[in-house]
Amino acid sequence: MKVATIELKYGRRTMKLEIPKDNLISVLIAGNIPAAPDERQAVIEALRSPIGSLPLCEIVKEGDKVTIIASDITRNVRNQVVIPALIDELREAHIPYEDITIVVATGTHRGHTFQELEYLFGSEVTRRVRIVDHDSRNKNGLVYVGTTSRGTPVWINRLVAEADKVIITGGIVYHSMAGFGGGRKAICPGVSGFDTIQHNHKLMLNPPEEGGGLKETVGCGKLRNNPMAEDMDEIAAMVNPSFMVNVILNDEGKIAKVVAGDYRKAFEEGCRIVEKFFSLKVGEKADALFISCGGFPKDIDLYQATKAVENSIGVLKEGGVVVLFAECPEGVGHNDFYRIIYEFKTRREREEELWREFTIAKAVGYMLTLSCEKHRVILVSNFAPEEVLEMGMIPAEDAGHALGKVREILGNEFKSYLVPEASSSVLFLSDDGELFPGK
């Protein structure tokens, strides 16, 4: 019997998996995208050669009050490079510092310390430009601009709604609910009111009277007929950003590509780039998946490690087995993620909590519990076995023990995919269709 031997990243070390080749359909590794030779220059070139719009210097005019929407500290989107380059471009177009405001798109997250703002934007920008954290619960800082076709009341940060020109920034990545992050997400949830965010995000859920669960059109890479994503686009259209600049980072967190211009057309191009470099297409579903997050920090806690499951689960047969290699030295992670798993014992209870007050961390925990209902999830981690069992998963000490568990469940003739960097790439079936049909 021929055996494949693979060293999987596990925390700061590796773990050896030896699996019969007859059980392995293939090892799936996405090609990493190289970093731009000069990150700042890549941003400047994108600003001056935009997609679907005039260059930024021809859009803004002297006297305009310009609001830049920038991602908060929970996102690595290379603000330190993008924002100074963007402001220099505005100044060349005769927009002085005093006419520029940065609104930090916190969504429902906390605000920032001065030191965090310096880290995000650099000392010169922090010293010269007005920077304001968005506060989704401060009604005095919000303006009502209308209601979407799906009934979302749209409240937008006043500094955004009343600006002469709005520039959105951020990074484009796969997103397990909105299809892709970046682009229009700078508006919602970024600078929207709490009620707006709640209503929009709950669109991913089927109402209890319709059986509950997730809408089938919600998931990584899904934009068409995704109610959450389409509602976000409608909200962004009410603001009608003047310009967008978004980055696509490589696996090392460096800028690889920059898209700029019309906020819809540039976003679509960015999504195509992400699809090209960070998706893997397979011809058939497997009985089992062996997935590693890719080591530290991607498996620092279970909240982060869950991304590997979300990225891969679409190519697993109903009732199949996932083996997740995630050390999780910091335990479960986010408190809302912990609560939705441990404190709410049924799917109905978890859904009622999400309808009561939605948070992304709760939703991620809920999605993990759905995966555990549909499939068997074996976790190789630092958790005590009883903790893993309480979360609805099967504990395993190491790769060999996990493989034995898979055989107990599926027998010896199972077929599997092995994904060594599952947090960095998304698996799709080859017949899943085009990202933007007809375009």
- pLDDT at residue 434, rounded to an integer: 65
- Going by C-alpha positions, the residue among 418, 414, 384, 415 that lies closest to residue 399 is 418
End-to-end CA distance of the chain: 49
- Going by C-alpha positions, the residue among 354, 93, 19 that lies closest to residue 214 is 354
Residue range(s) occupied by CATH 3.40.50.11440 in the chain: 39-277
- pLDDT at residue 130, rounded to an integer: 98
Q: Is the model more confident about 431 or about 181?
A: 181
Q: How many CB atoms lie within 10 A of CB 394?
A: 20
- pLDDT at residue 437, rounded to an integer: 53
CATH assignment, 39-277: 3.40.50.11440
- pLDDT at residue 436, rounded to an integer: 64
Q: Quick one: what percent of the chain has pLDDT higher than 90?
A: 92
* Phi–psi pair at 339, nearest 5 degrees: -65, -45
Query: How would DSSP label each residue in 13-60?
Result: EEEEEEEEGGGEEEE--PPPPPPPSSHHHHHHHHHHS-BSS--HHHH-
Q: Hey, what are 313's tokens? A: 């689960």
- pLDDT at residue 439, rounded to an integer: 46
- The model's pLDDT over 35-71, given as tens digits with 9 standing for 90+, comes to 999 999 999 999 999 999 999 999 999 999 999 999 9
Mean pLDDT score of the chain: 95
The CATH class of the 3-30+283-429 domain is alpha beta
Residue range(s) occupied by CATH 3.90.226.30 in the chain: 3-30+283-429
- pLDDT at residue 210, rounded to an integer: 87
Give 438's pLDDT tier (boundaries 50, 70, 90): very low
Q: What value does the mean pLDDT take over residues 229-246?
A: 98
- Going by C-alpha positions, the residue among 246, 173, 177, 172 that lies closest to residue 425 is 173
Q: What value does the mean pLDDT take over residues 269-294?
A: 96
**Would you mind telling me the total number of residues written for the chain in this entry?**
439
Give 433's pLDDT tier (boundaries 50, 70, 90): low
- The model's pLDDT over 132-179, given as tens digits with 9 standing for 90+, comes to 999 999 999 999 999 999 999 999 999 999 999 999 999 999 999 999
DSSP lists the bridge partners of residue 103 as 69, 132
- pLDDT at residue 221, rounded to an integer: 95
Kindly list the distances between the CA atom of residue 67 and the CA atoms of 41, 102, 245, in Å, as whole numbers in the listed order. 23, 6, 13
- pTM for the structure as a whole: 0.91
| Inter-residue contact 243 to 165 (CB < 8 Å) | yes
Q: State the Cα–Cα distance between residues 400 and 168, nearest whole angstrom.
A: 48
- The model's pLDDT over 307-341, given as tens digits with 9 standing for 90+, comes to 999 999 999 999 999 999 999 999 999 999 999 99
Q: What value does the mean pLDDT take over residues 67-79?
A: 93
Q: What value does the mean pLDDT take over residues 246-260?
A: 95
Q: Is the pLDDT of residue 187 over 80?
A: yes
Segment (H or E) for 256: strand 255-261
